[in-house]
Chains A and B, each alone.
Chain A
């Protein structure tokens, strides 16, 4: 009896929280003709024409460019964040340095609204010629990803017994060698989690994409909104839905595959915050 109630609550929660995604998915399979008479959740004549149009007609908006920009910027933003955070995390975990100032400052960065830095960064980018480039967007996404990367990696390295390092040092390895050849393979799962989490965060970022790109480097989150710009005859809801599904798919798939790891790192990030 109570268990049945639990299932009902679960079903309602899943439906309510995923409602926008469900509606968008349903709409993306409706033809324009059907949409004008049937806005409900049932599809009378499913069609792939919206996806076909989005993927083949690139004259007005080219979705491939947006997808490529998101992928490139997210890869830079995640890869660089790990490259910067890993050595620092190693030093923090294996010495007293950085625990008092660097770690708390970086961790608290997560809670600082990054729009504060947006205006000077915009001017700096204008000066450096980084506006509207994948690299420029990727560098900002690095800032977004560094705090959580550092927390996850410090935790992971701290869990590795220091005897492992000491044994290698006795055998004559330098600390750089220990870091790269002993620690790196051992904390591989944490590196993967950091990467997945960072990639999803970076892919989903919107504010800096909106401010720092205009055409060449526009990411998917910003590009999707272009399809909502009414251009005679109003918004093509079917097309717009297909675009959003395609844009939401990469992070959603990654997230569903790795949900266990991700929930663990959310906890780590929150507790250390």
Chain B
């Protein structure tokens, strides 16, 4: 006998499903309808369906492609850097952490601070008069770069994001690393594998699924970045730090271009579906 029968199961799902339909399903339909309509703040309730004009105007907008390019580069660069540094820290620090697990806490602290808050904090850190980084650079080298101007803003934001989220990659890798069974390691040692060979041929392949997943999670988070970028530079630095999320936000709240914002949202949704399909396909391969 099943513990939860069919009717009961349906009952237990209903609140969750209803909530999701109301807060995500309904907005998704509104998105689709508005994206093919002519609509502004006066005609919100009665949009006129006019075809794919919104998509065309988004796809023809140089700012849109600029923001896609920013998000893409930002997602790839930060995810790569976070995974590489995180992997190094996880393996190199493992002997230290194995004996004193309380050492984990300071490494995890960045994950507990709101990214928006971190963005604001860097306004202070990098401020030319009140910030310690320019202060010490002036003290030691007599000069300090403009961290948030057009040329440097991208690099600065990458560093900000990487420093905050490397702990996430590190944490996943560390847990995957210590989960490798002891007898696997002993067998490798018995066969005369040096520790580097064991790492390259045995431990890293065993950690590969975690590496892949961490990369994708971090890529998605980097691609849709909003909080810390918005708090630190806005779309500032000549619009050079407009991520796709910030583009949508601006189109709606600053320009009132509802159709354009909604069409961009649908495109972002399609893009994230593609990434998710790849990710699930990879997960499926692993299971087989």
A115 touches B220 (CB 8 A): no
| B2 contacts the other chain (CB 8 A) | yes
For residue A206, give the distance in angstroms from its CB to the closest CB of chain B.
4
How many residue-residue contacts, CB under 8 A, span A and B? 294
A14 touches B107 (CB 8 A): yes
Of B13-21, B49-57, B59-67, B196-204, the one contacting chain A is: B13-21
Instruction: Look across to chain A and name the residue whose beta carbon is closest to the beta carbon of B134.
Output: A39
Chain A contacts for B258, CB-based, 8 A: 119
For residue A145, give the distance in angstroms from its CB to the closest CB of chain B.
12
Contact of B27 among A117, A235, A262 (CB under 8 A): A117
Given contacts A6-B93, A112-B272, A263-B175, contact A13 B107 (CB under 8 A): yes
B268 touches A113 (CB 8 A): yes
Contact of B26 among A124, A203, A271 (CB under 8 A): A124
A39 touches B12 (CB 8 A): no
Contact with A along B130-166 (1 / 0, CB 8 A): 1110111001000000000000000000000001101
Chain A contacts for B93, CB-based, 8 A: 6, 9-10, 13
B109 touches A115 (CB 8 A): no
Task: Compute how far the CA of A111 lies from the CA of B220 in the bound complex, rounded to whole angstroms.
Answer: 7
How many residues of chain B have a CB within 8 Å of chain A? Answer: 100
| A216 contacts the other chain (CB 8 A) | no
Task: Compute how far the CA of A140 lies from the CA of B23 in the bound complex, rounded to whole angstroms.
Answer: 8
- Kindly identify, within residues 200 to 240 of chain A, every residue whose CB is under 8 Å from any CB belonging to chain B: 200, 203-207, 210-211, 221-222, 224-225, 228, 235, 237, 240
| A185 contacts the other chain (CB 8 A) | no
Given contacts A204-B117, A211-B253, contact A119 B261 (CB under 8 A): yes
| B240 contacts the other chain (CB 8 A) | no
B163 touches A225 (CB 8 A): no
Given contacts A94-B3, A98-B9, contact A206 B280 (CB under 8 A): no
| A172 contacts the other chain (CB 8 A) | no
For residue B13, give the distance in angstroms from its CB to the closest CB of chain A.
5
How many residues of chain A have a CB within 8 Å of chain B? Answer: 99
Main secondary structure of the interface of A (DSSP, over half): helix
Chain B residues in contact with chain A, CB under 8 A? 1-6, 8-13, 15-17, 19-20, 23-24, 26-28, 30-31, 34, 44, 89, 92-93, 95-96, 101, 103-118, 120-125, 127, 129-132, 134-136, 139, 163-164, 166-168, 171-172, 175, 210, 213-214, 216-217, 220, 223-224, 226-227, 230-231, 245, 248-249, 252-253, 258, 261-262, 265-266, 268-269, 272, 275-276, 279-280
4 nearest A-B residue pairs (beta carbon): A255-B112, A120-B27, A204-B114, A206-B116
Given contacts A39-B131, A116-B268, 17 further A-B contacts (CB under 8 A): A6-B92, A6-B93, A9-B89, A9-B93, A17-B109, A20-B124, A24-B124, A84-B15, A88-B12, A108-B276, A112-B272, A116-B266, A117-B23, A119-B261, A146-B19, A150-B16, A266-B172
Question: What are 21 A-B contacts with C-beta separation under 8 Å?
Answer: A17-B110, A17-B163, A20-B121, A21-B121, A23-B132, A27-B124, A41-B132, A90-B4, A95-B2, A95-B6, A104-B280, A108-B276, A113-B245, A117-B23, A124-B30, A207-B227, A221-B114, A237-B130, A248-B114, A255-B109, A259-B108
